[in-house]
Amino acid sequence: MQYLTSKEVKELELQANEIRQSIIEMLSEAGSGHTAGPLGMADIFTLLYFGILNHDPKNPDWEERDRVILSNGHICPVLYATLAHAGYFALEELLTLRKLGSRLQGHPHRGALPGIETSSGPLGSGLSQAVGMALAERLNNPYSSKFFYCLAGDGELNEGQVWEAMMLAGKEELSNLILIVDRNGIQIDGYTKDVMPLEPLAEKFEAFNFDVQEVDGHNIRSLNDAIGKAQSVYSQPSVIIAHTIASKGVDVFERDFRWHGNPPGKGPEDRVERDEQAMVALRKLRTLADTIEAQDIS
């Protein structure tokens, strides 16, 4: 496990903040898309791509790379923004999100853009694919040090296929598989506890032979520790239930399920309001960045 210095934590927090700003700019320009999930997962994506993964943005097909399988494809603005900031492609391309001919499809398409490991959008299939990759890797190379990180939403756990994949992962004792669940408590129709209660979630995963950790999904150091511990788990798949705040970083949107599937503003027909809301969000984020910058870490 890699220890993070306070300086590194601060740098990662600032990086996550920049990624959040890109997300707001992309969604505002696109006029449609999901806001809550991408903002809420920015810290986890930042930590993965800037602190954890064994990868090479200049050689995205490098065989030895760790794999990130995004199961809830609708949060792809955070994946795209993170990939661009990590150097997979130019930042300017982020503004083509959801436009005709763009490599940044509304939901990710493998092969369209460097760094996309699978096409996703229809919920519940990412874990199965990660399980397939992890199984194949064990066959290809018994001494492999690759990890397969599957990122999934909590609402997505309503899908039966996820539990099929969990059964298989548990049966096969896939210790190279790390599932990170975005536990933000919201889905399109409301709060997850109302739409389809998931608790006791940790116990359910345990019953499926997963090593389970619950962490604050915005605390870089806790997340880093949890991933490090998950990497060292022997003969069990791991799940990190990351408690996140939907739309984290933009307090006027936070915890509100109405931002799940909407961009800032009301949509394409109302450009003025969209721009105003985006400006408010960006100002909030920049203020937050100043606060992080000002932290005394000596």
Partner 1 sequence: MFANHLQPKLNINEVEKVPTRNGYGDGLLEAGKRDENVVALCCDLTESTRTHLFAEEFPERFFQMGIAEQNMASVGSGMAAMGKIPFIASYAMFSPGRSWEQVRTTIAYNNSNVKIVGAHAGVSVGPDGATHQAIEDIALMRVVPNMVVLAPADVHEARKATLAAAKYDGPVYFRLGRSATPVVTTPESPFEIGKAELMYSRDKSHEKKVGIISTGSLLHNSLMAAEALQQQGIGASVLHMATIKPFDTEAVIKFAEEHEAVVTVEEHQINGGLGSAVAECLSENVPTKLARVGVNDRFGESGEPEELMVHFGMDVSSIVEQAKRISG
How far is C-alpha 150 from the chain's CA centre? 9
165 near partner 1, judged by CB under 8 A: yes
143 near partner 1, judged by CB under 8 A: no
Please name the residue that has the structure tokens 């990122």. 151
Angle at 67 between CA 180 and CA 74, to 5 degrees: 55
- Provide the sign of the torsion angle of the four alpha carbons 29, 20, 39, 2, taken in this order: positive
Least Å distance, CB 45 to partner 1, is: 20
Angle at 101 between CA 97 and CA 107, to 5 degrees: 45
Least Å distance, CB 227 to partner 1, is: 21
Are 113 and 80 in contact by the 8 Å Cβ rule? The answer is yes
Question: Alpha-carbon distance 295 to 105, whole Å?
Answer: 38
132 near partner 1, judged by CB under 8 A: yes
133 near partner 1, judged by CB under 8 A: yes
Least Å distance, CB 105 to partner 1, is: 10
Q: Which of 7, 110, 193, 286 lies at the binding interface for partner 1 (CB under 8 A)? A: 110
Helix or strand or coil: residue 148? strand
Closer Cβ to partner 1, 10 or 138, answer by number? 138
What tokens were used for 28?
A: 């505002």
53 near partner 1, judged by CB under 8 A: no
Q: Which of 69, 86, 215, 239 lies at the binding interface for partner 1 (CB under 8 A)? A: 69
Q: Which of 32, 140, 235, 295 lies at the binding interface for partner 1 (CB under 8 A)? A: 140
Which chain residues interact with partner 1 by CB under 8 A?
A: 67, 69, 109-111, 117-122, 124-126, 128-137, 139-140, 160-161, 164-165, 167-168
